[in-house]
Chain A
Amino acid sequence: MQLLSFLLQRLARVILILVSVEILVFLLVHAIPGSPWDTPPNQLKALGNVFMDEATLARRNQYFGFNLPLWRQFTRHLIGDVHENGDFICGVVCGNLGPSNRQTGRAVQDILFKPPEGQSMWNSRFGYTVRLISYAFAIVAITGIPLGVASALWAKSRFDQNVASLFTILASIPVFILGLLEILIFASWLKWIKVLPDWSQPKYWIIPTILLAVVPLASMIRITRAAMLNAMGGEYIRTARAKGLTRAKTIWKHVLPNALISILSFLLPLFAELLAASFIIEGIFGFPGFGREYWNAIAGLDYSMILGITFIYACSIALMNLFLEMTYKLFDPRLRAQ
């Protein structure tokens, strides 16, 4: 019961944050000079710069509600509005992120979540981003924990020092430079892939996935190592060894479970961090996920697309944080008592 009231309280807070984010981004985006019609879409450019005439412009402004006052435009986006034909069309509260201003004829949620004809849902923008993040997460967990454990077991050895300095250096290289290095290694030197990516084939994903994983991987190794060393220094470990357990058995039975707490408390918030980092990497490599869609939208001033993507990011990060808080509360008796 107490937990439920806590959950409801936090949900209300999440909703408040989401609405504030939408208001802030809405105001900022509308402060950008220009309109979505300033730069013609690519297909118009190919036809020799046919700009819209006055009548089309007026019709479009009417359709997207650009002739309304600013606050009406916002409520139209968030809650919904009665359109010119008399129908009430619901806004973000119903999960309708509105029609895209630039990719005419498609709604934002269709562009982001609907896969191309006849393909699985993993080929939508959403699917691409989620897969990228999951692969990076898997790399961090699968290689980071063993490396961290190994460097803790052989602490201060040459292996430990080399792993530590290698990953510190890798993590301090800016992402786009590391990306160029990866292109040089995998495309020019090893010739596994071509320089121009074809994202429908999984082997091209190696570059963005490694890029995304490198920075958290360095932290993962450091945290696992520190947690292991911390657990190994405990009194109970000495007791276990004194009563005759082997070193391997002590580590499996006593050290690892204790170190796992700090490892998990790093791994769980990692999803939100990867989501934020993927945004930049998608922009640099033209990876067809949310990030690229955002960079295109902001270059062409696609108001509803920018607002929609910001909403999805804010929503997922807030919900992940809420989930984390709930799990801590469920599993840590000290927090539950508060």
Chain B
Amino acid sequence: MMKRPGKNPVSTRIWLSGLTIGLMTLLALFAPIISPYDPTQMQTGISNHPPAWYKTPGKSGLPEHLLGTDLLGRDIFSHVIHGARAAMFLVLIAIPLALVIGVIVAVTAGLGSSFVETIFLRLTDVVSSVPSIMFTVILVFILRRTPVGQIFGGLITLALSFALVNWVGLARLLYSSVIRIKQLEFMEASRSLGAGTFYQIFKHLPRHLAHLVIVWVVNSIPAVILLEALLGYIGIQILQVADGSSFQDLSWGGLILLGRTQINRNPFILLPPTLCILFISMSFSILGEYLK
């Protein structure tokens, strides 16, 4: 690893991961400005070209298409940059949604009536008794044909499926914490001073749950991006219109799905999205380790 004398290697690693995340955010924000081509623009004459540096006698890279082209002659570099935007979009929809559901359910179950609590506990039992990806995939299959799922090129399907399954994990985490905090002395004291349930929820709970929520968010961001890529690898389309035909969306997972079908002709399609996902997930896991 990068270890220089007199420098703490841990801080270097965190600095690098922060830089990667910042860079990806910039790519996502300014995607239309940075990308050299429109990623949907087709040029049939130059299909499946390898990256610019790759020279073979048959088909060598074109200098104007840095990472090569796909089957329909679309620029892969632009696709990757727009993919960062899709990933950011996914994260910005899925994580807050799961967060809101999880926090509300955990607080109602922890402080509310025992009826809600029982239902919540049975539900978590059911959901956690099979691998969560089983439910996520079924939800993707349900949502991808509905009108809602067509919004934003199918990304909303994935965001909703992730949120509707993964709030359970967060809620279970927060619930046990809420139960523990409820029995602490200061809660008793504040109640004896006349504090209502709502006052307690907004005054005391946030500062005791914040660290759990932050760690969960940092771990979930790469999980969403990975889920998208994983479905691409396994070969599941997240966008399917009513007549049964399907499209790839402009994302890293979509690019992986595309590269999967073209692996004999242009294996280099798989490389850039895979590397992007690798950097992102490693950055977040380093950050998560640090926060713990």
- Please list the residues of chain A having a beta carbon within 8 angstroms of any beta carbon in chain B: 16-18, 20-21, 24-25, 28-29, 31-34, 38, 165, 168-169, 171-174, 176-177, 180, 275-277, 279-280, 283-284, 294-295, 298-299, 306, 310, 313-314, 317-318
Tell me whether B201 is interfacial, beta carbon within 8 Å: no
Q: B282 contacts which of A16, A33, A169 (Cβ < 8 Å)?
A: A169
Residues in B neighbouring A173, C-beta threshold 8 A: 278, 281-282
Q: Given A20-B126, A24-B126, A25-B138: A276 and B236 within 8 A (CB)?
A: no
11 contacts between A and B (CB under 8 A): A17-B122, A21-B129, A25-B134, A28-B139, A31-B142, A38-B244, A172-B282, A174-B281, A280-B230, A299-B236, A313-B134
Cβ distance A328 to chain B, nearest Cβ, rounded Å? 18
Q: Is the CB of A284 within 8 A of B233?
A: yes
Q: Is the CB of A20 within 8 A of B122?
A: yes
Cβ distance B12 to chain A, nearest Cβ, rounded Å? 12
> In chain B, what residue has the closest Cβ to A295?
B234
Q: Given A173-B278, A294-B134: A17 and B236 within 8 A (CB)?
A: no
Tell me whether B31 is interfacial, beta carbon within 8 Å: no
Interface residues of B in 98-127 (CB under 8 A from A): 122, 125-126
Q: Given A283-B234, A284-B234, A299-B236: A174 and B277 within 8 A (CB)?
A: yes
Interface centre among B129, B233, B234, B286, by most chain A C-beta atoms within 10 angstroms, is: B129
Given A29-B138, A279-B134: 12 more A-B contacts, CB < 8 Å: A16-B122, A17-B126, A21-B130, A28-B135, A32-B141, A32-B142, A177-B278, A276-B131, A279-B131, A279-B133, A283-B234, A298-B138
Nearest first, the 5 A-B pairs at minimum CB distance are: A172-B285, A276-B131, A314-B129, A32-B141, A33-B145
Cβ distance A22 to chain B, nearest Cβ, rounded Å? 10
The range of chain B's interface size is 20 to 34
Q: Is the CB of A317 within 8 A of B129?
A: yes
Q: Is the CB of B141 within 8 A of A17?
A: no
Tell me whether B137 is interfacial, beta carbon within 8 Å: yes
Residues in B neighbouring A276, C-beta threshold 8 A: 130-131
Tell me whether B81 is interfacial, beta carbon within 8 Å: no
User: How far is A33 from B278 in the complex, measured between Cα atoms in Å?
Assistant: 34
Q: Is the CB of A165 within 8 A of B1?
A: yes
Q: A174 contacts which of B138, B234, B278 (Cβ < 8 Å)?
A: B278
Residues in A neighbouring B281, C-beta threshold 8 A: 172-174
Q: B229 contacts which of A38, A165, A176, A310 (Cβ < 8 Å)?
A: A176
Tell me whether B226 is interfacial, beta carbon within 8 Å: yes
Residues in A neighbouring B133, C-beta threshold 8 A: 279-280
Tell me whether B35 is interfacial, beta carbon within 8 Å: no
Residues in A neighbouring B130, C-beta threshold 8 A: 21, 25, 276, 310, 313-314, 317
Cβ distance B80 to chain A, nearest Cβ, rounded Å? 15
Q: Given A28-B139, A165-B1: A176 and B131 within 8 A (CB)?
A: no
Q: Is the CB of B131 within 8 A of A168?
A: no
Interface residues of B in 263-277 (CB under 8 A from A): 270, 274, 277
Q: Is the CB of A17 within 8 A of B125?
A: yes
Binary contact track B180-194/A, C-beta < 8 Å → 1, others 0: 000000000000000
Residues in A neighbouring B141, C-beta threshold 8 A: 32, 298
Residues in B neighbouring A21, C-beta threshold 8 A: 126, 129-130
Q: Is the CB of A298 within 8 A of B142?
A: no
Residues in A neighbouring B233, C-beta threshold 8 A: 176, 284
User: How far is A314 from B278 in the complex, measured between Cα atoms in Å?
Assistant: 31
Q: Given A174-B278, A280-B133, A318-B129: A28 and B138 within 8 A (CB)?
A: yes
> In chain A, what residue has the closest Cβ to B1?
A165
Q: Is the CB of B138 within 8 A of A32?
A: yes
User: How far is A246 from B139 in the complex, measured between Cα atoms in Å?
Assistant: 60
User: How far is A171 from B285 in the complex, measured between Cα atoms in Å?
Assistant: 9
> In chain A, what residue has the closest Cβ to B284?
A172
